[in-house]
Amino acid sequence: MKIGSRESQKEEQAPGRNSVGEMPGRALLAMKRLTFPIVIEADADGYFVSCPALQGCYSQGDTYEEALRNIKYAIQLHIEDRLATREMPS
């Protein structure tokens, strides 16, 4: 395998993510644009972020951008889980 080839680039991506950092097979959420309020708090260790509308949905990051990216992913997973367990109408 050549360094810089498509195959090596795929191996370097985060597990389970495509080239734009999104999870594959997320057509349901990709078709719907949902907006949720979030709360971001800075402290000595970085940033803590939560989504009050979704109980238990929170994340963190070393930077503001990382925390924002992480909570978006946490919200996506939270909603997918609730849809899969039929706790939320589709």
Tell me the C-alpha distance between 63 and 46, whole Å.
6
In a domain, 23, yes or no: no
pLDDT at 90: 58
In a domain, 73, yes or no: yes
Average pLDDT over residues 8-17: 41
In a domain, 24, yes or no: no
The rounded mean pLDDT for the chain is 76
Q: Structurally, how many domains does the chain consist of? A: 1
**40, pLDDT greater than 80:** yes
Q: List, edge to edge, every strand of the sheet that includes 39-43.
A: 39-43, 46-50, 58-61
**5, pLDDT greater than 70:** no
In a domain, 9, yes or no: no
pLDDT tens per residue across span 56-85: 999 999 999 999 999 999 999 999 998 888
In a domain, 76, yes or no: yes
pLDDT at 34: 82
CATH number of the domain to which 60 belongs: 3.30.160.250
In a domain, 87, yes or no: yes
